[in-house]
Structure 1
Amino acid sequence: MIRDDNEAILTQAAGWRADGIAVALAHVIATWGSAPRPVGSLMAVSATGAMAGSVSGGCVEGAVALEAAKVLSDGEPRFLSFGISNEMAWEVGLACGGKLEIYVEPIQ
């Protein structure tokens, strides 16, 4: 299933590039504990702000999109880390905590 999702995301990114639109690609490279998307999940972000795919959901997606815009601006890839402790997760009504690392790079 993730393979099919990633093919569709890469096809969309290739279409944007073919149209002359810059694209950054975010990859989930590691997870610990609870994470909504597995390692290998992708999200493409175009210079116009369009997105395809998912690396987590919720506020993480927005933060990744902002960092992708910076990657497109300066051409420098970034490693991003997000996480919430088990204790903090319970305080806000979630079942468990988790962490994930995401690599964002411009694609040519």
Structure 2
Amino acid sequence: MAATATAAEDILGTAASWKAEGRGVALATVTLTWGSSPRPVGSQLVVDQNGNMMGSVSGGCIEGAVVREAVEAIRDGKPRMLDFGVTDEQAWDVGLACGGKVQVFVERVG
């Protein structure tokens, strides 16, 4: 459990540090999982306006799509809820074939 708390602190610390450097920053958080899912609820990913990232919301299978949405959220300031699941055609496009569902909330920081 301590490792998870430390990882979360690193993500939030990185977000604060990047923001202090003047970067546009977004935070993505897993809010719901169902069935087989590579990361638990609460897992986070921080992204800057150039697509640099730290953390993980999926172990890689949907990260590219989440990063694209995070960069867009930095640009337009609008939060978004992303749904990925095996019954969703988009899930196959991004490689989520693990048999589960993942919901990720993305919001601009600051």
Shorter-normalised TM-score: what interval?
Answer: 0.7 to 0.9
| Alignment of 1:79 onto 2:67 | no
Shift of 1:58: 2.5
CA contact (8 A) 2:50 2:71 kept: no
| Alignment of 1:32 onto 2:65 | no
Partner of 1:55: 57
Instruction: Tell me the distance in 2 between the aligned counterparts of 1:75 and 1:57.
Output: 26
Identity of aligned residues (%): 52
Please list every run of 5 or more consecutive structure 1 residues that lacks an aligned counterpart in the other structure: none
- 98, 101, 106: which one aligns with 2:100: 98
Instruction: Tell me the distance in 1 between the aligned counterparts of 2:86 and 2:24.
Output: 32
Partner of 1:70: 72
Shift of 1:69: 0.9
CA contact (8 A) 2:51 2:68 kept: no
Aligned residues: 101
Partner of 2:15: 13
Shift of 1:3: 1.3
Query: Of Structure 1 and Structure 2, which has the larger fraction of its residues in strand?
Result: 1
Instruction: List, as ranges, runs of 4+ consecutive aligned residues in structure 1 with deviation greater than 6 Å.
Output: none
